[in-house]
Chains A and B, each alone.
Chain A
Amino acid sequence: MSDLTTPQGNPDGHGSAPAKLGYSPVADIPHKPRATDTDPKAARRAERQVASMFLLSMLFVVLFVVAYVAIDKTSVVYIPVMGEVGASNVALGFTMGMAILLIGTAAIQWAKKLMPDVEVVQQRHDMVSPKRATLEAEANYERGKEESGFVRFRLIRRTLIGAMVLFPIPLVVMLRDLWTPTEYTEGKSPADLLSTTLWTGGMRIVADGTYQGEHSETDSGGEITGEPVSPDDSLAHRPIRPEDLPVGGLIAAIPLDLPEVEHAEGNLNARGKAAIILVRMEPDEIRSQQGTGWDVEGILAYSKICTHVGCPIALYEQRTHHLLCPCHQSTFDLADSGNVVFGPAARRMPQLPIGVDEEGYLVALSDFEEPVGPSFWERG
């Protein structure tokens, strides 16, 4: 450090901070007095500025309360640039924001214009403790060690360490029941559960949907008591005939039993595994599939759950037959056994073997032959 940067220690007369407080103004920073230091009019003006900002802040609080009471929560207002926006949110946010912001700007303006702006110096002290304190601490430690007999009583020392190591075990053990099997999962390992879905041979394939409509029955607590209702002419939960699906078409589908099972189990777990998509292509466009005869006249059923990390995927390009995951862009070729053609997924999309039952509706021939969804340790 050259001598150019050493403080001279002589107050320059601008603000004479008492040296007793441990600091003094920096002598060699040329301090230019502000307008408010020299011109009483400017100081008055600054005072008025600050006070009017505080005043405006109060006004905005009043406006906030008025807006809270007066503006309907659903009303919409047109504001240039923003378009049609919720009047209540904008009014409340604006008034509250201005009320708070003005306090801040007033305080800063006050500090900048009217409080002293002479920088002062304070000395630092090393972090290290004085030698005496260190020696005292050492002596106290030695005394404690001696008096406790931690070194002498070897047995106590070892058993203490043992006890300290073991005592958190109950806390860890209790975490086991974070997962308590239900009557539906009793006796099954996680790997078993991840490897099976609701699909069985003969299970009808129905169009996806959970819409309850405005007429579904609910009790006072909002719990659903009635069966799910769909508008009468909707195909949701209706079985599908091969002729319903044209070439190039796509249907998001679930097993017929799913709504019932979901209702019984009280969760969406079965849906997270069983969801499929049905796509139809010209039979001669199918280059390969995961089992012979798993299609029905060019209709293929594939799992909807990505084998990468489990996003549902249905971005089906009907000309390229590619299926793209919107989360991480894994791309699967449904005309070629659902194999991965791009992206981070390592496994092909599992195919569901399908057929037609005696009434002419599409059914599964069996469950998936490989686990659906993301990989896991025991998957193999």
Chain B
Amino acid sequence: MKFLAARRRSPIVASALLVGALVTVGGAYAALGAVEPAQAALAVGAETQVEKGQQLYLEGCSSCHGLKGEGTQTGPTLVGVGAAAVDFQVSTGRMPLAAPGAQAPAKTENPYSEEDIAAMAAFVAALGPGPAIPTAEQLDYASADEAYGGELFRINCAQCHQAAGQGGALTQGKYAPSLMGSSPKTITEAMLTGPQNMPVFSDAQLPVEDKQAITSYIVGLQEASSPGGLNLGRFGPVTEGVFLVTAIFAALIAAAVWIGIKSR
């Protein structure tokens, strides 16, 4: 500290101290801000799956989507959205919605078990015909053509989700989410149901084989190694520019300063 005290008037040391202080405060803030998510344990004694689903629906969803799924001012109708929509929205944590906003964000924690979700899906499916939860066979992309999926991805998906699947901005604060954490089931359900502002890609538009190909390409993107080294998040030239300014120029100017300093 004596060293620091002696040099604290030097601008370099002063900025280092300032940065240090900011990092400390920020870190403490982040640590305190991480509030434990509420775990809602639901005990339901329904007899059939649909009845259990109805029970859960009435407790968790009906305030916005209406008692019979007819929709209200605050939530769209669920008649005809199908089991796939319920499975997508609830298992990704998008529903139930924590607070109204431009868009329902995905959350890692959701209060429902797989059984609960299946029950609610069964209930909503019973409200009107809609896409069912895709079967394991539908989701199996093992024999799909990845390169073909790539082209379909660039035609149908990249304009919103970005070529590397990193997501992108839509209007008025909405966004197409990153696909890096999406499972084949989530990807397929999203295509089938068109959640929120995403267009629908039914099996008549993109047959099962095409969806498998797209899934295969997205999984490929998720698992891809980075041939060129650090991938900078694959956001394109913006992050490259930031890296250029912050890292490369820091190194180059540090070298220049080192050359300029007199040796002792």
Q: Which residues of A pack against B, CB within 8 Å? A: 32, 34-36, 76, 81-86, 89-90, 93, 108, 112-113, 117, 207-211, 213-214, 230-231, 233-235, 243-252, 279, 312-320, 322, 324, 326, 329, 331, 342
* B171 located at the interface, meaning its Cβ lies under 8 Å from any Cβ of chain A in the complex: yes
* B101 located at the interface, meaning its Cβ lies under 8 Å from any Cβ of chain A in the complex: no
Q: How large is the interface on B (under 10, 10 to 19, 20 to 34, 35 or more residues)?
A: 35 or more
Interchain CA distance A250-B155 in the complex, whole Å: 11
* B231 located at the interface, meaning its Cβ lies under 8 Å from any Cβ of chain A in the complex: yes
Residues of B within 8 A of A82 (CB): 226, 229-230
* B241 located at the interface, meaning its Cβ lies under 8 Å from any Cβ of chain A in the complex: no
* B3 located at the interface, meaning its Cβ lies under 8 Å from any Cβ of chain A in the complex: no
* B258 located at the interface, meaning its Cβ lies under 8 Å from any Cβ of chain A in the complex: yes
Residues of B within 8 A of A313 (CB): 159
A93 touches B229 (CB 8 A): yes
**1/0 contact string of B188-210 vs chain A (CB within 8 Å):** 00000010111111101111111
Contact of B170 among A90, A243, A249, A315 (CB under 8 A): A315
Residues of A within 8 A of B197 (CB): 317-320
Top 3 nearest A-B pairs (CB, nearest first) are A250-B199, A86-B227, A84-B225
A209 touches B171 (CB 8 A): no
Give the residues from 165 to 222 in chain B that come closer than 8 angstroms, CB to CB, to chain A: 168, 170-171, 174, 176, 194, 196-202, 204-210, 213
Minimal beta-carbon separation of A343 from chain B (angstroms) = 9
Interchain CA distance A76-B264 in the complex, whole Å: 45
Interchain CA distance A317-B168 in the complex, whole Å: 13
B205 touches A249 (CB 8 A): yes
Interchain CA distance A243-B263 in the complex, whole Å: 79
Residues of B within 8 A of A230 (CB): 148
Residues of A within 8 A of B51 (CB): none
B262 touches A117 (CB 8 A): yes
B225 touches A83 (CB 8 A): yes
Residues of B within 8 A of A320 (CB): 171, 197
* B41 located at the interface, meaning its Cβ lies under 8 Å from any Cβ of chain A in the complex: no
B225 touches A76 (CB 8 A): yes
B209 touches A234 (CB 8 A): yes
B199 touches A85 (CB 8 A): no
* B151 located at the interface, meaning its Cβ lies under 8 Å from any Cβ of chain A in the complex: yes
Residues of A within 8 A of B227 (CB): 85-86, 89
A326 touches B159 (CB 8 A): yes
B199 touches A318 (CB 8 A): yes
Interchain CA distance A370-B16 in the complex, whole Å: 60
A248/B199 contact (C-beta < 8 A), A210-B151, A211-B151, A322-B171 known? yes
Residues of A within 8 A of B209 (CB): 231, 233-234
* B147 located at the interface, meaning its Cβ lies under 8 Å from any Cβ of chain A in the complex: yes
Given A36-B263, A249-B200, 10 additional A-B pairs, CB 8 A:
A230-B148, A233-B207, A235-B210, A245-B202, A250-B156, A251-B205, A313-B159, A314-B156, A315-B159, A326-B159
* B145 located at the interface, meaning its Cβ lies under 8 Å from any Cβ of chain A in the complex: yes
B200 touches A246 (CB 8 A): yes
18 contacts between A and B (CB under 8 A): A32-B264, A36-B263, A83-B231, A84-B226, A85-B229, A86-B227, A112-B259, A209-B151, A211-B151, A213-B148, A230-B148, A233-B209, A244-B204, A249-B199, A250-B201, A318-B194, A319-B196, A329-B171
Residues of A within 8 A of B262 (CB): 34, 112, 117
A342 touches B155 (CB 8 A): no
Residues of A within 8 A of B226 (CB): 82-86
Minimal beta-carbon separation of A18 from chain B (angstroms) = 23
A315 touches B160 (CB 8 A): yes
* B152 located at the interface, meaning its Cβ lies under 8 Å from any Cβ of chain A in the complex: yes
* B237 located at the interface, meaning its Cβ lies under 8 Å from any Cβ of chain A in the complex: no
Interchain CA distance A247-B196 in the complex, whole Å: 13
Residues of B within 8 A of A231 (CB): 145, 148, 209, 213
**1/0 contact string of B130-166 vs chain A (CB within 8 Å):** 0000000000000001011001100110011000000
B168 touches A326 (CB 8 A): yes
Residues of A within 8 A of B174 (CB): 317
Minimal beta-carbon separation of B198 from chain A (angstroms) = 7
* B100 located at the interface, meaning its Cβ lies under 8 Å from any Cβ of chain A in the complex: no
Residues of A within 8 A of B200 (CB): 246-250, 318
Minimal beta-carbon separation of A96 from chain B (angstroms) = 13
B194 touches A86 (CB 8 A): no
Contact of B152 among A32, A209, A213, A214 (CB under 8 A): A209
Minimal beta-carbon separation of A131 from chain B (angstroms) = 40
A316/B230 contact (C-beta < 8 A), A36-B263, A252-B156 known? no
Residues of B within 8 A of A32 (CB): 264
B156 touches A90 (CB 8 A): no
Give the residues from 116 to 135 in chain B that come closer than 8 angstroms, CB to CB, to chain A: none
A234 touches B207 (CB 8 A): yes
A244 touches B230 (CB 8 A): no
Whose C-beta in chain B lies nearest to the C-beta of A93? B229
A331/B171 contact (C-beta < 8 A), A90-B229, A209-B155, A210-B151 known? yes
Whose C-beta in chain B lies nearest to the C-beta of A114? B263
Residues of A within 8 A of B228 (CB): 85-86, 89
B156 touches A249 (CB 8 A): no
Contact of B159 among A117, A213, A314 (CB under 8 A): A314
Interchain CA distance A213-B160 in the complex, whole Å: 25
Minimal beta-carbon separation of B209 from chain A (angstroms) = 5
